[in-house]
Amino acid sequence: MKGIILHGGHGTRLKPLTYTRPKQLLPIANVPMSKYGLDSIRETGISEIAIIIGGNNSQKVREFYGDGTNFGVKITYIEQDEPKGIAHAIGLCEQFVGNEKFLVFLGDNILLRKLSDYASEFEKSSDSAKILLCEVSNPTQFGIVDMFEDGSIKKIIEKPKNPPTNLAVIGIYFLTPIIFEIIKNLQPSWRNELEITDALQKLLESKNRISYNTITKYWKDTGTIEDIIDANKTILENSKSYCETKIDSDYEKTGNIMIGKNVTLGKNVTLYGPVIIGDNCEIEECVLGPNVSIGNNTILSECKIKNSIIMENVTVKSKIDLNDSIISFNNKITSANKEKSLILCDDSKLEL
């Protein structure tokens, strides 16, 4: 099998964070979100992966992943000139896939479950596709499946106004090369995109079998700021404590705490886990947590932070309370004693 990661799109709902980088490179628990997908694909035993790039600053994807050597895989890059839909992006991979079965992972999806058993089942089967489903509270926002009484898939509908079920098709697909002929004959939807749900429905109508599994562990489509903060919380809660620095000072801590290399914790530091602190950070007179990620090379002083993501090379020297915030790369914040909820893009300087 081969793997495909979709890494395109403009990330409109995540602006201003996506002005300077693709949304799939935004870090969750100090790891770019698309790397969770790459790790899931590699864990199945797949070593050849195509990454579909396009949109804002796509060269940063190449810069981060390179040829894949540092991640234990071989990466091929395929350009999508504009966002024409998931099915269009998959259709660009026909030559890369050849005659093999393949696994598609949307780069902004987070799944806390291994895929190896699903991949093994699919490889051994004669199914034309396998999809993963998850119960959702807002089914009008997803591709939804309708079922026959025997539990087989009856129909797949994109964002239905009156959903027949709450079973959403999540952004992970096991496919065979037969899908490419289906995609070539698709018509654009009302969004002027080639929809993967339409391709799967055509596959069904052609009497091809689509199997499925229902996910009960955490899955998140990180399309909004709130989704990213929620995913950060869940991943931190499921992380194991570690400390790669010998900390000489006393500090208070509860819960699981992850501390990187060359970290300095000064006086009056309290960590309410889960909290992750990256490499080369300096922190004093701070209360951090719960649910906080601190990126590499960050300096914090006199602040309180909870339910937030602080990316790399950030300085916060302020008696400020940050809650439900995302502070992007290379920011500097100074302010009076106030509580704030902030979303800052790269390279800002904020004085309040």
Examine the pLDDT at 35 and tell me if it is beyond 80.
yes
Structure tokens at 47: 């070593």
Percent of the chain scoring above 90 in pLDDT: 67
What local confidence, expressed as pLDDT, does residue 57 receive? 81
What local confidence, expressed as pLDDT, does residue 102 receive? 97
Domains and CATH numbers, the chain: 2-235 (3.90.550.10), 241-351 (2.160.10.10)
- Stretch 125-147: mean pLDDT: 92
CA distance 24 to 38: 11
What local confidence, expressed as pLDDT, does residue 222 receive? 80
pLDDT in tens, 137-173: 889 988 899 988 888 899 999 888 999 999 999 999 9
Return the C-alpha torsion angle 184, 185, 187, 192, nearest 10.
0
The string of DSSP codes covering 281-319 is -EEESEEE-SSEEE-TT-EEES-EEESEEE-SS-EEESS
Q: How confident is the model at residue 19 (pLDDT cuts 50, 70, 90)?
A: low
Angle in degrees, CA 200, 204, 210, rounded to 5: 75
The string of DSSP codes covering 317-330 is ESSEEEES-EE-TT
Say if residues 2 and 78 touch (Cβ distance below 8 Å). Answer: no
Q: How confident is the model at residue 20 (pLDDT cuts 50, 70, 90)?
A: low
Say if residues 41 and 49 touch (Cβ distance below 8 Å). Answer: yes
pLDDT in tens, 291-306: 999 999 999 999 999 9
What local confidence, expressed as pLDDT, does residue 217 receive? 83
Average pLDDT across the chain, whole number: 89
172: three-class secondary structure by DSSP: strand
Q: How confident is the model at residue 248 (pLDDT cuts 50, 70, 90)?
A: confident
CA distance 23 to 342: 18
